[in-house]
Amino acid sequence: MTDADALRTVFDAAQDSGHPVRGAVHAAMHLDDACADRPR
């Protein structure tokens, strides 16, 4: 999350709608590059 102003806008809109954000899910992952026709 690199745009703090945009994030604040989202949180404010959620709060104003009566459904505040109460948590977040971090769903990052790491993929290794590999050739698909060669098993590791």
Label residue 38 by pLDDT band (50, 70, 90).
low
**pLDDT at residue 40, rounded to an integer:** 60
Whole-Å CA distances, 17 to 1, 6, 20, 23: 22, 17, 8, 16
Question: What pTM was estimated for this model as a whole?
Answer: 0.53
Q: For the segment 3-36, what is each residue's pLDDT rounded down to a tens digit?
A: 999 999 999 999 999 998 888 888 888 877 777 6
8 A C-beta contact, residue 18 and residue 11? no
8 A C-beta contact, residue 12 and residue 18? no
Whole-Å CA distances, 2 to 12, 17, 25, 26: 17, 24, 16, 15
Domain spans, the chain: 1-40
